[in-house]
Chains A and B, each alone.
Chain A
Amino acid sequence: MASTVIGAGIIIEGEITTDEDVVVLGTVRGKLSAKEAVTIQAGATVEADVAGGALAVAGTLTGNITAGDRVDLQAGARVVGNVKAARVTIADGAQFKGNVDMDV
């Protein structure tokens, strides 16, 4: 499936809603809602509540995360916020502060 890429030099303030996969390399402030996969890559900065099907985070994120399927915090990820998903993994090298709720 085609994916929406928010490039490294882009700063978006506001609300993003999409049915496609989203890959974030730049900066997003506000709200990000996707139905499919959301990937926040290393170097990206997200200051937003994020909703998606499956979320992979390697960058910096402050905000609440809700995923229909799963959330993976990868090495290098720095996340402050609450995570709600049926499956959550936190890799060695990821830093996280907040609540985890897997009772979905």
Chain B
Amino acid sequence: MVEGQIEGDLTLRGHLTVAEGGSVSCDAVEAESVTIAGSLQGEVVANGAVQLAASARVRGNLKGSAVTIAEGARFSGRLDCAFELPQELGGSTREARPPAPARR
């Protein structure tokens, strides 16, 4: 849970919450799942869901299994979640990627 300000990278295994008024400025954030109600600048990679609340102000790239943006949230950047498209629209968006490294 971030209520103040952070500059730098964040890596955690659990859930990250950036509370309203909190601010994160970094190159990379890695977490299991992320909820942002404050402001964030940088790249976010989550295994699970990424949620932007109405008060969120985010600039950067988000990657997660599912991404939701609430009414009122401001976001600029790239969203990436892998899913299957029907065959006629080019099949899967999942790129072939090397197997994930073993968890420490």
Contact = CB atoms under 8 A, between A and B. Distances in A.
18 contacts: A47-B89, A60-B86, A62-B85, A62-B89, A78-B83, A80-B93, A88-B69, A89-B69, A89-B71, A89-B73, A90-B68, A92-B66, A94-B68, A97-B82, A100-B69, A100-B76, A102-B75, A102-B76
B74 A102 contact: yes
B90 interface: yes
Contacts of B78: 98-100
A100 B77 contact: yes
B19 interface: no
Interface of A: 45, 47, 60, 62, 78, 80, 87-103
B26 interface: no
Interface of B: 66-83, 85-86, 88-90, 93
A88 B77 CA distance: 12
B70 A80 contact: no
B85 A103 contact: no
A45 B70 contact: no
Contact of B70 (A89, A95, A98, A102): A89
A60 B79 contact: no
Nearest to A83: B79
A60 B85 contact: yes
B84 to A, nearest CB: 8
A91 B75 CA distance: 14
